[in-house]
A and B are shown apart, each in its own frame.
Chain A
Amino acid sequence: MRKEMNKLANKRTSKRGQMEIMGLAVVVILVIVGITLLIRFSLTPAKQTKEKFEAGQLPETIITALAQSTTDCQEQSMANLIEDCGAFGGTIQCEPGKNSCQYTQESINGVLDELLERMLKYKYKVILKKGGREDFNPEDLNDPAKIYLDSGCDESMMDIESASQPLPNNVEIELRICKGRIG
């Protein structure tokens, strides 16, 4: 009789143990679900109003304002110099030994270095296009009749915002801004 009662008690204890393990499993599942949800929400990128505002129309504003600005190279506009470089290979002489391509490249580099790299901490790329196609090969890097600037814009890694300014003679200048912040 006593043996049977002990058996029954053992059965009840093991059943209660199973219930506890079941309860623990439910709690652990709930915790895992909670943590997953928390991680998911915390990884959702935050809205960055200021960054969106600054970067959104930046390339367009820069390229338009820069193209219409008057240079100290024979009082030509930047657009005229870029067009001369793209269409005729730099026939306008700005300074002794400096044609429109070299002058433009140097000036644009100076402006973008100050504005994009120092102030906004963005990388950039400037490409001259002829007839809608990129007019640049890696071997043209020091060609005085071309314009090409790259401050280390890794297009495969960064978000790109770009704008281009069409000019006469099928010439076009394109500015790409890499939004991955540096520094």
Chain B
Amino acid sequence: MVLLVFFIIITIGLVIYGTYQAGQIKQSIREAFDRDAVVIALRVSFLPEVTCSENNVVEENCFDIEKIRAFKSEMVNGANDDMFLFYVGDLKKSKISVKQLFPLPVENQVTELYNNIPPENERAEQHEIIPTFIPISLKDPTRRAGKEYAFGVLTVEVYKEG
């Protein structure tokens, strides 16, 4: 009798433990996705191709509007395939964009720097896009010193399958 009860309890315990472990594994996978998204966001925010610098001194959390324009013209719409391929290894399947929030620009536009997220019809059935938002300063070096900053947000969206 004791053995029977014992085995029933053990079976229930194993089922509960299995369910709990499945949840834990899902959470670990999600955690790994999140970590990847953060790594890509960090890479982008320190990309020397777009960050502000004055006499080789890098300004933290600041993107240069002129550099962004030059970068965008080469990267988006397959303008420069070699350059695009150079960044694919680091930026993976992500979309990176910059939006000015203050002062509000005349056209409320989002500047896309890089986009390697598959189009809707090519995405896996089970997929997720994880966005990360980083507030930044946007510097327009063509304006007078002290009057060249705006406030914006850098958005890094990472595409994950499964």
Which residues of A pack against B, CB within 8 Å? 20, 23-24, 27, 31, 34, 38, 42, 46-50, 53-54, 58, 61-62, 64-66, 68-72, 75, 77-78, 107, 110-111, 114-115, 119-120
B150 touches A (CB below 8 Å)? yes
Question: Which A residues lie within 8 Å of B143 (CB)?
Answer: 70
- The CA of A47 and the CA of B28, in the complex, are separated in Å by 10
- The CA of A34 and the CA of B10, in the complex, are separated in Å by 11
Q: Which of B35, B37, B148, B151 contacts A65 (CB 8 A)?
A: B151
Cβ-defined contact, A49 with B35, below 8 A: yes
* A-B interface pairs (CB < 8 A), number: 97
Cβ-defined contact, B20 with A38, below 8 A: yes
Minimum C-beta distance from A114 to chain B (A): 6
Q: Which of B20, B31, B104, B135 contacts A61 (CB 8 A)?
A: B135
Contact-residue bracket for chain B: 35 or more
Question: Which A residues lie within 8 Å of B27 (CB)?
Answer: 46
Question: Which B residues lie within 8 Å of A49 (CB)?
Answer: 31, 34-35, 38
Q: Which of A54, A66, A72 contacts B133 (CB 8 A)?
A: A54
Cβ-defined contact, B101 with A111, below 8 A: yes
Q: List 19 A-B contacts (CB under 8 A).
A: A23-B2, A27-B6, A31-B9, A46-B27, A49-B34, A49-B35, A50-B34, A53-B132, A54-B132, A65-B136, A66-B102, A66-B151, A68-B137, A68-B149, A69-B151, A70-B148, A110-B104, A115-B133, A115-B135
B116 touches A (CB below 8 Å)? no
- The CA of A24 and the CA of B9, in the complex, are separated in Å by 11
Q: Which of A61, A75, A114 contacts B61 (CB 8 A)?
A: A61
Cβ-defined contact, A114 with B101, below 8 A: yes
Cβ-defined contact, A71 with B103, below 8 A: yes
Cβ-defined contact, A50 with B146, below 8 A: no
Minimum C-beta distance from A84 to chain B (A): 16
Q: Which of B61, B62, B149 contacts A70 (CB 8 A)?
A: B149
- Digitize B22-58: 1 where CB-to-A-CB distance is under 8 Å, 0 elsewhere: 0000010001001101100110000000000000000
Cβ-defined contact, A65 with B135, below 8 A: yes
Cβ-defined contact, B149 with A69, below 8 A: yes
Question: Which B residues lie within 8 Å of A66 (CB)?
Answer: 102, 151
Query: Residue on B with the closest CB to A28?
Result: B9
Cβ-defined contact, B135 with A27, below 8 A: no
Q: Kindly list 17 other residue pairs between chains A and B, CB separation below 8 angstroms, not including A54-B132, A61-B136, A65-B149.
A: A24-B2, A27-B9, A31-B13, A49-B31, A49-B38, A50-B35, A53-B41, A54-B133, A64-B61, A68-B137, A68-B149, A70-B143, A71-B103, A77-B147, A110-B101, A115-B133, A120-B133
- The CA of A42 and the CA of B27, in the complex, are separated in Å by 12
Question: Which A residues lie within 8 Å of B137 (CB)?
Answer: 64-65, 68-69
- Digitize B125-138: 1 where CB-to-A-CB distance is under 8 Å, 0 elsewhere: 00000111111110
- The CA of A114 and the CA of B102, in the complex, are separated in Å by 11
From B20, B42, B130, residue with most partner A Cβ within 10 Å: B20
Cβ-defined contact, B13 with A34, below 8 A: yes
Cβ-defined contact, A27 with B2, below 8 A: yes
Cβ-defined contact, B153 with A119, below 8 A: yes
Question: Which B residues lie within 8 Å of A47 (CB)?
Answer: 31
Cβ-defined contact, A50 with B132, below 8 A: yes
